[in-house]
Amino acid sequence: MEKQLGDEIFDDVLYALSNKYQRQLLLALLEHNPQDDSDHDPLNLLSETEEAEVLQSELVHKHLPKLDDMGYISWNRTTNKISKGPNWDDIAPVLKLMYDNQDELPEGWL
């Protein structure tokens, strides 16, 4: 069976949502677009833990670039401004579904 464009888009959406920090970032954009801040954690996703430095590095070097490359966000590395990207409409319905039903989702999903 040949893979359809819709299948590829859905696979990309699931891949983007497969990481907790990426989900949180995308859900934050659902509520407030654009996001910007003076540090490398523009959505304040990182908690004050021993892992915060590692997570901050992953956010800047992995998660934000990945979502930017996928077109779900637009990330200005100079200003740290994050906004909805050109492919936002592909992921928005799933984000809205998750957001609207967050009380019914298992703990830790969002």
Q: Could you give the CA distance from residue 46 to residue 81 in angstroms, rounded to a whole number?
A: 17
CB-based contacts of 70, cutoff 8 Å, min separation 6: 12, 15, 16, 85, 87
Residue 77 domain-assigned (yes or no): yes
Cβ contact 76:85 at 8 Å: no
Residue 87 domain-assigned (yes or no): yes
89 pLDDT band, cuts 50/70/90, is: very high
* 70 secondary structure, DSSP code: H
Instruction: Give pTM, 2 decimals.
Output: 0.77
Number of domains in the chain: 1
21 pLDDT band, cuts 50/70/90, is: confident
109 pLDDT higher than 50: yes
Residue 25 domain-assigned (yes or no): yes
pLDDT tens-digit readout, 35-65: 655 444 555 555 555 566 667 777 888 889 9
Query: Cα–chain-centroid distance for residue 23?
Result: 5
